[in-house]
Structure 1
Amino acid sequence: MTVRIAKQSNVAALFRSRLGAVSTETYLRNEELVNIVGSLIETHAASEVATLQERIMLEEALRPVEELRFAITNIALDEFAGSELWTLEMAAYMHRLGVPTLVYSPRIGRVASVFGSQGFVLTDDPAVVRKFAPNVLHIHHHAETRAARRMVGPECRTINMIHGLLPLPEWPGPEMDVYLAVSLHAKAKGALLGPPTWNDIMLVPNFFDPRRFGTRKARKRSGALIHSSRATTAYVEQMRALLKRHGLAVDQIGYGSAVKERPETVLPRYRVVFAVGRSAIEAIASGCRVILWDHGIVGPAITVTNFWHALAANFSVAGSVLPFVMPDDSTIDDWLAGQLAMPDDTEALRLLVQRYLTVDAIGARMVKIYTNRSDAPSASQ
């Protein structure tokens, strides 16, 4: 293992000055920066993947929720993006269980309007959080939402989840009861920046809403779709040229193109979808073949063989857990041809995510974390 930077202050300075807010491509092109995160992941990846698979396949029974008053925070509720949708869909799940539920964000926008009629409290006012008096506060982006934490008492259980490696707001907060991460690289960020250590952070994978995805009738599929908010015009055109050789026309949805509030109506039209993160999970649930793609970087086709590694990486290339080819690599055409020729595991993968990655399945695990006051969850749970 390569020795990582010893002083946490140096690591924090590097995240602030050279890691935070850069693109996945910029990050992966910098060997020094990749090494800081990658060496830590390399040490733990094999055991983490095995533990995650064992834990997820052991299905979680839903615990009683009668005493739970649940609040969750997010930096913004504006775009149809990762942590925004995680926040609102988990809130909707908790509300369906009959749990009094509140969502706080200092910036409420378009995506919140879609969920505003679902029955839980939605507010940008910290005083409303105080009046609500939650006994569990799930915190995303602690610095940007700290006003909500100031409104709860010392008896309130605090859960801090890190969703990403590169955004600056994804910074672990101080003195939390539980630390969570959705990927190995998010977990590495939390451990590098502290206060949690690697073993203090539990990996909880992303999910999808089965009420939306995978419910459409089977239809004839054709072509390819880039489902990404990080798709520049140049990289979309590169993919069009590459895939034309394989007889695949390419469309795109996401920022920089048509933002789809209901991608579940679009995905079933396509045979192949290029995506990462939640978008990849949603595409698998919709019966699409998925090849990871981020800002021009082409990752592997998702198969039954690499599924659990991909899950631990949150279906991303950023953690260097999965192989990939950069957009200017001379081998990109051959690599893409190889991924398109991979075994078609579409139906087996669809059944995997439908069984293990629904909001109900992951929600039951979250309820266990929210209600388990006897001891904090560890990575081995």
Structure 2
Amino acid sequence: MRILITNHGLDARAGTELYVRDLALGLKAAGHAPVCFAPVLGEVAAEISAAGIAVTDTLEGFDAPDILHGHHHHTTALACLAFPATPALFVCHGVLPWQEAPLARFSNIRRYAAVSEACRRKLLDAGIPADQIVMRLNGFDAARFNRGEPAANDADRKTRALLFSNIAQPVDLLPFRAACAAHGMRLDHAGRAGKVLGAPEEELPRYGLAFAKGRAAIEAMASGCAVMLADYGRIGPLVTTANFGALRSENFGIAVINDPPDQGVLQAAIAALDWDDAARVSARVREEAPFTNTVADYLGDYAAILEDGPADASGIADEARAYLSAILPHLSERDALAGKLYQETATRLDRDRELAALIVRAKDDPSAMKDLLERARWLDPSNPDLQG
């Protein structure tokens, strides 16, 4: 079976990009012929291509595949328009990103998959019939993440913690680092602003505790780590055998990550960590969440949606018009945000230039120094050193 998988990009090592990689690898291992399409290619695309899987940034000149597996509405729409008779499945990976909304409504999309209960609710709220929605929970590559010895058995691992996030900046680490230090643990940071883990399967088994969400949290658990959910400047619960089922149904994602990263709360959570329970969680993940299970579920979906034969492409023009109407407000919003960012950046640069000139003048001009102090008080009115 030839399956065309779409994604908004295959450049950065991030959630859906790596999901596409693992899906394509799994489909190939099962004897099928996946093709990955994204308008933006890069590191992940190269990794997929090196595995002998076709990758493209254009649909021009392609023979129609047997199945469309769509991620993100704009690339899914392109594929549906290019191959209007090919049956399709659309996967919703998140509730916040604009690309995840089911705006592409084409006759060939016969089934919708949600990776969490929150995503399922998003699809229902968008008017997708419940009988067209299936749950397809995330997983991990058991062949790659094959070092699942629990941290409970390794004293050195219990002294090392990892914040695994593409969102976090160095300043965001402060409460985590202080809480870990209070328990004799060193904190490292993996992500775009930290160390990019090209081979997390090699790095994660070095840590005892991981702060992560979603796929990263699953991979950390599979590697034997205790996991506390965290990302987007928020924290959630420690994953335990008691809450595992509820948290897994939400993909260990933002729907259950709601609290500010208070140092005291973090310290209390680390103090309550039960390493033996974390080992049981790790064993459960390794039993329940291999990504081969997800691939098998998708193959079942493909077989089901192929049963009704080719899609009816007679209404493709009306469906394309409806999609453009649905996407226009989002494009206008993004255009307005880009304009606002441009204006704010230009204003900030002008102020920085004025401030630089004022600093130079203040070296020899008392009145300029007075103006400089006034500017500083305006920028930071709570600073006691600037009062008086």
* TM-score of the pair, normalised by structure 2: 0.72
Aligned residue number for residue 302 of structure 1: 239
In the alignment, is residue 149 of structure 1 matched against residue 80 of structure 2?
yes
Aligned residue number for residue 171 of structure 1: 101
Aligned residue number for residue 237 of structure 1: 174
1:198, CA displacement in angstroms?
4.4
Q: Distance in 1 between matches of 2:216 and 2:264?
A: 24
1:105 aligned partner, one-letter code: A
1:217, CA displacement in angstroms?
6.9
Q: Return closer, same or farther for 1:323/1:116 CA change in 2, 3 Å cut-off.
A: closer
In the alignment, is residue 272 of structure 1 matched against residue 202 of structure 2?
no
Structure 2 residues without counterparts, runs of 5 or longer: 309-388
In the alignment, is residue 158 of structure 1 matched against residue 85 of structure 2?
no
Contact 2:161 / 2:207 at 8 angstroms: preserved in 1? yes
Aligned residue number for residue 54 of structure 2: 121
In the alignment, is residue 326 of structure 1 matched against residue 260 of structure 2?
yes
In the alignment, is residue 209 of structure 1 matched against residue 141 of structure 2?
yes
Identity %: 32
Contact 2:224 / 2:279 at 8 angstroms: preserved in 1? yes
Aligned residue number for residue 184 of structure 1: 117
Aligned residue number for residue 286 of structure 1: 223
1:216, CA displacement in angstroms?
6.9
Bigger-Rg structure (1/2): 2
Q: Return closer, same or farther for 1:117/1:334 CA change in 2, 3 Å cut-off.
A: closer
Aligned residue number for residue 6 of structure 2: 73
SS in 1 for 2:162: strand
Contact 1:82 / 1:278 at 8 angstroms: preserved in 2? yes
In structure 1, which of residues 208, 219, 223 is the aligned counterpart of residue 160 of structure 2?
A: 223
Contact 2:229 / 2:235 at 8 angstroms: preserved in 1? yes
1:369, CA displacement in angstroms?
0.8
Aligned residue number for residue 107 of structure 1: 40
1:300, CA displacement in angstroms?
0.6
Aligned residue number for residue 134 of structure 1: 65
Contact 1:144 / 1:169 at 8 angstroms: preserved in 2? no
1:313, CA displacement in angstroms?
0.9
Q: Return closer, same or farther for 1:144/1:204 CA change in 2, 3 Å cut-off.
A: same
2:287 aligned partner, one-letter code: R
SS in 2 for 1:206: coil
Q: Distance in 1 between matches of 2:215 and 2:174?
A: 24
Higher normalized contact order (CA 8 Å, seq sep 6+, divided by chain length): 1
2:54 aligned partner, one-letter code: V
- Say which structure is richer in helix: 2
Q: Distance in 1 between matches of 2:242 and 2:53?
A: 40
Aligned residue number for residue 360 of structure 1: 292
Aligned residue number for residue 94 of structure 1: 27
SS in 1 for 2:179: helix
List per-residue Cα deviations over 1:85-127 (Å, max 9, x = no partner).
1111101111111112211111111111122121221111202
2:138 aligned partner, one-letter code: N
Aligned residue number for residue 303 of structure 2: 371
Contact 1:232 / 1:295 at 8 angstroms: preserved in 2? no
Q: Distance in 2 between matches of 1:325 and 1:216?
A: 29
List per-residue Cα deviations over 1:8-62 (Å, max 9, x = no partner).
xxxxxxxxxxxxxxxxxxxxxxxxxxxxxxxxxxxxxxxxxxxxxxxxxxxxxxx
Q: Distance in 2 between matches of 1:148 and 1:75?
A: 12
Q: Distance in 2 between matches of 1:217 and 1:284?
A: 10
SS in 2 for 1:224: strand
